[in-house]
Structure 1
Amino acid sequence: MSAVEAEWDIVAHGPVTEHSKADVAKDVFAGTMGGFAQVLSGQPFDTTKVRLQSAPEGTYSGAMDVVRKLVKNEGFKGFYKGTMTPLVGVGACVSVQFAVNEGMKRYFGGKNKLAGVSDITYGQLYVSGACAGFANAFLASPIEQIRIRLQTQTGTGTGPTFRGPIDCIKQIWQAGGMGGIFRGFVPTIIRESHGMAMYFMAAEACVKQDMKQNKIARTEVPSWKLCMYGGVAGITMWLSVYPIDVIKSKMQTDALSPAQYTYKNMRACFQATVKNGYGQLFKGFAPTLLRAFPVNACTFLAFEVTRRYLS
């Protein structure tokens, strides 16, 4: 086996050992750093996207209209409404994503080694990412609802509905209980499972090809290329899941009380959304794609560099 093949061959650790515990801890910490990078670089884009997705028809003419009105009415700080929740929450989410993905890669690497196969297949990479997304959905669903409800407060009229993340959680719980907290969970788990599968498969495929083509170890892949691969992975993810994200956002900005829901379930939300054309499923798509490359470039780079430093 060549040095490059050995680098790509991820050996499973078998029973839990101090070494495997250390690997998991390193993955979690590196993922947290990736999450922080993701939030700080992407919050303005995300606020613009969410407002386009969830606003009533005719509120905004496009992404630039959102930006103009937001700056005029709320100032630049309006782009970072609800940042503390995603900074903590997304840090946790991304750490789960990367830790589960890395753990699954080690699992498949160990199985493949026993079978005499030195490489991880693209199918296994997809399953690894899907497991990461599935696990993350349980965190992402309530965290994203809180962030979205805070982001969509305009600060005009009678003032904000929520005084902050804690107040938002209290009001959601009082109105709808656990069901309210996990509003939009079904579209979230669909988006996360398939989206993360596509994300990690694309990123790892790029890294794998670079290593084999240039006969280098993973730690020798240049930082600028890691940025490129993360950006490509981010775009790949959003191209594959954007419509379901629109449905999720609309459900999570619905009324707090179940009795007042506009959308009783995901199917009802989909039917109401496409009533005015299937183009409604792509509202906010432009700022999302603009955001996808730089944000995921920062995320993937932060994870890889941190992981290398901890090795």
Structure 2
Amino acid sequence: MNPTLHAARLGVSRGWTEFKNALLNPQEIGFTIVTSIALVIVMYFQRDATLPGTSLSLAAVTLPSVLGMLTAFNALLGAVGSLAVEREDGTLLRAKALPQGMLGYLVGRIVSVSLTTVISVLIVLVAGLFLLPALTRTGPGGWLTMVWVILLGLLATLPLGAIIGSLANSPQTAAGLSMLAVGGLSAISGIFYPLSALAGWLQALAHVFPLYWLGLGMRSALSPASAAAAELGGSWHTLETVGVLGAWAVAGLLLAPPILRRMARREAGSLMQVRRDRALQRIG
């Protein structure tokens, strides 16, 4: 069998196993559930408010952006956090010893984090269907759009998270880098307020990164056609959404494996023991 395909198959199997184990671990799945419920509570209090100047429910406007944000944040933070931890516990060292081991590792991480992210999105979406009955009138085209936006969004952000995680030499540094990336992207993404409120150069910068397009794609899937008038250019820019998210996905999937291999070449048992000793000192 082709070594690359074999590694990818092992990665899928590993990712599925890790996801099932996470479902049985309250600590691992608890954060996902709690954050999802917190977002549902926010929308509950917004359900009777309307967007100023329109008849659109504020919760209906918030929901698509929240789903896009959840997709990107869970993918980025999940990839960064797990990579940092698995450098210390020896997982990466073991993967390094296998043929195409880092490719298999990356595929496994994409599968497990993607499935966890889908759980989070479903919790918020199902709650949204109860809070916002108008969502039940979303046609097949809207649901199909939501599916491909989420899939492309995960492929665009998960490898990026792996790359960010490879730059950190400790879980603390990884957490700092990931929060910096997440905070910076969310500030200019138009997730929390209209992008038109930002300066022109910040709008241009936001168009480069996937988070803006994730939010836009989700709004195009779940919002009425008339809501496009509130977007830049008065359009959902579907082709541009596919192009930008697709470009990030291709670039990430091409760049992440060699970057992870380069990082893995520097890994050794002695370095792992040093990290463990430091971690024990912090705990002690």
- The normalised TM-score by structure 2 is 0.39
- The normalised TM-score by structure 1 is 0.37
